[in-house]
Structure 1
């Protein structure tokens, strides 16, 4: 009788207060903490800081010092972040600059964020490759140079590539980097062509 009376009292208390606390409600999932922000300096000198949270990305742009205004095309999705400054658009369309140089999250995945490297590794098809940075390897058989471009010179580089020279600047893939000494880049397909450079 005592046990039945206790149950009746508990039911009465719930009905009187109108509050029911279920075990599931008491164990609300805690939101996943946001990842640490990562910053990438683009070849144009602009800095992009991204933070992954809630299944997407937050992206903040710090424009490089320039004489005139520049607009940015920012694409943010669950897959990643791409930021293209207007000064780079015509160079991408002309095939001078590789679009992957502006894939911010892709650059982070390759280890090219500012915490991991002060340089941007490039594959350059141009007789003026030396003006872009330190040449780490010459590849005359495919007319390419592997260049390490300091990020603190980025704002000097991309705008002047529209100088009428026959120039192509691309980003090496991880496979291309692994084929060369000290993890430096070498050209796409070089190994298949014998890599005689």
Structure 2
């Protein structure tokens, strides 16, 4: 389908229970580097990927962090690429179809399972899971990559959750936690994780 349109950010629905706010801030900084001339093209290149659900609702399946970054910067609309239209499905079949494709990740900001019905209603309501930021920056550092069939950041965030601790609220604390995370990626247990770069 792959239809691209401009949509209000506060009108799209998350498909995961949390995001990493440090990762959001990094994307805010990247966006801020663009002038009025280059910004529209930059936004299109990072368009949110979404699925149309019952009643025409749009559910973001990729780029939650970009959506939150742009919302925090005061943007009210964002480009959305509609990958798939499930609007004709009743709610239970919609959830089933999304789950079959791995497009829902119903876990809260502590990595605990929740229900699809309890996911945040808006991008702005998504709470911070600092381990998602740790995983994102570990990926940027070359620890792992995302295989096409799997969003590896969730598995890596959970791996780090049980091995890394610290004060995520300060720059030095976050930096120490990230250093711990990169060090633990050489543990034997990390070899079973998706996308590990040897």
TM-score normalised by structure 2 residue count: 0.26
Q: Which has the larger radius of gyration?
A: 1
Q: Which has the higher contact order (CA 8 A, sep 6+)?
A: 2
Instruction: Specify which structure has the higher proportion of helix.
Output: 2
TM-score normalised by structure 1 residue count: 0.26
Instruction: Specify which structure has the higher proportion of strand.
Output: 1
